[in-house]
A and B are shown apart, each in its own frame.
Chain A
Amino acid sequence: MEAYIRGIGNISPQPTFDNGTFLDDIREYQHARLQVIEPDYKNFIKPIQLRRMSRLLKMGVTAAGISLQDAGVEKPDAIITGTGLGMMEETEKFLNGLLDNQERLLNPTAFIQSTHNTVGASIAVMLGCNNYNLTYVHGPVSFENALLDSLMWLEEKPSDKVLVGGIEEITEDHYKITESMGFWKTGEINNLGIRNDNRPGTIAGEGASFFVLSKEANPTNYARIQALSTRFNPEKEDIIGNYIADFLKSNNLGLSEIDLVILGLNGDPESDSIYDRAGSILGQAPMAWYKHLGGEHYLASSFALWLAAKILKSQRVPEVVLAESSKKPHQIRNILIHNHYHNIHHSLMLVSSC
């Protein structure tokens, strides 16, 4: 079960939406809430549509549009999205309205745009696309679920082209509430230095990352997704070693064949220690990370897939993502992406050069 990445579009707290660049200009943040750098939406969406769209909807539709354009695909055969919290801004707006006004005098617009499938559905309307359309909403594996569905879809219909993406936003209220629960680092922060920051918590992020997948070999393809796995680990057992080893074995790959490991390190000492345990399995493989650039959120692993696609196509690992003391790989054929959330959900993606 594998597919090529044919097009990409990524809107994140870094200037990533221009596919002609690759982390050439890095933004530093002195606070723990990283918001996306928005492109000029007028270049992508008609002004009349733009006025009615929420922030996340604009992000999602635009990232999807960039990836379709990149792939040279007008109308995908399936539109599959993942979002953990969904349309938070609109949900809060409608909720506040009904709580403040005792359930009277409400405007339906926020409600209409609050459903989790709003982005996938809007892309379908804008493209006039009547095809398969699905939205996964399972927290930190929402993107992996969407990707699995995409890979299954391409097994069923090998000549199809699938648009798959992850979208997530963090609102002011959600940030403050989760901050009070200890999710985020407080006080003086530099996002680029969070791995050496021993205080508990991480930094919050958001983003919209879309991919066009196809089974068709094409010289402009970015990379090949070879395999994907998720593991639900409610008892938080120490599974990492065997999990990674079994995954590689089932894909007939030796540890030495992994040229780069992209880990979901986020600066929270407890969370990062889970990856450290994996380190003993992976030995000397060069190591990269990305959550200092895009922040932690339910769809963060979609940023990792974007990073892997860019690295494989350019054969370049930007300094900013290379973990300290990690050696730089020369030729990059196979990248292993490992992400976990509170040690309850683990996911592995194996991405290779075309």
Chain B
Amino acid sequence: MAGRVFVTGIGIICAIGKNVNETLASLQAARSGISQISILETVHRGELPGGEIKLTNEQLAALAGVTNPDMQTRTSLLGLIAATEALNNAGIDPKDNAFRTGVISASTVGGMDRTEINYRNYHLGKPYNNFVLTHDCGYHTEMIATRLGFRDMVSTISTACSSSANSIMFGARLIKHGFLDRVLAGGTDALSKFTLNGFNTLMILDKQPCRPFDRSRVGLNLGEGAAFLVLESEEALDGRTPLCELTGYANANDAYHQTASSPDGYGPYLSMSQAIATSGINFRDISYINAHGTGTDNNDLTEGIAIERIFGENVPPVSSTKPFTGHTLGAAAAVEAVISILSIRNNMIVPNLNFKEKMDELHFEPVKDIRFNTPLRHVLSNSFGFGGNDSTLIFSAV
């Protein structure tokens, strides 16, 4: 296993923009995408805010260029929009037979939005369509691969909130092992009643905009979105200039509890320290940490403890960008990978919105205001999930 893996294209759709340019503009204007829910049909409208994309499925289908939206789920439409943008940004043709290509995606709910409607109809004895075909997490991956012309491999990963960090990591390893030359890697998740109510029963949703790393934090806001990166081997670059390099990655397990993280943040500590080791850099060279930072009492405490265990008194600038996008679950790591790459490309550090007061248990505060003209060499991005699935990615300037 050898070689380097570069990022040559990025694509995103989330609550702060339906493409990379809109997302960048919202980040630079410190404009949050958290709002009251108005698209998802739920009794929690007006009660639980979220990072909802204010487009109906019909509008998303039009944006995605899908003329027959009958077999589309919101998850697959979001995925197709972000994947298409990433591909165009990279300027490659997946049908070019000189290179082996694949799509490695991630999701936690897959086609749940269609399932919620049709499964109910099934129980009521009403007509239901063939929703079981679009329910699987892998459905959107094949739809994207087929439409965009990726042929050699499709795969989908689901490790809860760290899913798309693992799809990016798996994509990179497939390149390093020489199986593929060009990989579209990322993830997508739509808001659904299933996840909104699931997190609500766990009592970890904030009725206000979330406040990661703040002393008064009480929970997260769910979001929806999709993001993809085009990863390429050095050979496949063929002289083109990449956006950045994926230098580090790691996956570890907290092995503590299905939904809570360990008091000492051992899993997050392992994933961060192993990712730094993979990248071959010194921890002092990390310029910025894009934290998982959900805003729950448990996550921010344990993530903060793990960060301090590695960086000691020299914690680099940290921010969670979930107050912009909400927690997009299976897409979150890819969404934050795009934000990390935009930060590198634009010499900026995005603020941790809504932060007011430092936590007693931690010695550092997250970045409160946007910083421009700040060159970043190595950005570390964390994603932690249910089941203790912890993953970290490191993107480096080229």
Contact = CB atoms under 8 A, between A and B. Distances in A.
A108 B145 CA distance: 35
A125 B198 contact: no
Contacts of A60: none
B387 A120 contact: yes
Contacts of A122: 258, 387
Given A95-B194, A124-B255, A134-B166, A178 B132 contact: yes
A132 B251 contact: yes
A161 B215 CA distance: 43
Interface in B128-156: 128, 130, 132, 135-139, 141-142, 145-146, 151-156
B153 A230 contact: yes
Contacts of A339: none
A266 B1 CA distance: 38
Contacts of A128: 255
B197 to A, nearest CB: 5
Query: Which residue among B146, B193, B201 has the maximum number of chain A CB atoms within 10 Å of its CB?
Result: B201
Considering residues B145, B146, B155, B156, which has the most beta carbons from chain A within 10 angstroms of its beta carbon? B155
Contacts of A148: 179
A85 interface: yes
B253 A133 contact: yes
A178 B131 CA distance: 10
A145 B177 contact: no
Interface string B182-203: 0000000000011001101110
A133 B155 contact: no
Contacts of A281: none
A99 B116 CA distance: 8
Interface residues of B, number: 64
Contact of A121 (B44, B115, B387): B387
Given A132-B251, A138-B137, A181-B130, A95 B119 contact: yes
Q: Is the interface of B mostly helix, strand, loop or mixed?
A: mixed
Contact of A108 (B42, B120, B201, B389): B201
* Highest count of chain A CB atoms <10 Å: which of B42, B139, B258, B270: B258
A133 B201 contact: no
A68 to B, nearest CB: 15
Interface string B381-398: 000011111000000000
Interface in B101-144: 107-108, 115-116, 119-120, 122-123, 128, 130, 132, 135-139, 141-142
Interface string A90-125: 011011101100111011100111111110111011
B311 interface: no
B158 interface: yes
Given A139-B138, A152-B173, A177-B132, A114 B198 contact: yes
Given A108-B198, A133-B252, 19 more contacts: A98-B194, A111-B202, A112-B258, A118-B387, A120-B159, A121-B258, A121-B386, A125-B258, A130-B252, A134-B159, A136-B156, A137-B137, A138-B138, A149-B170, A152-B174, A155-B1, A155-B177, A232-B151, A344-B142
5 contacts: A115-B160, A117-B389, A120-B387, A124-B388, A133-B388
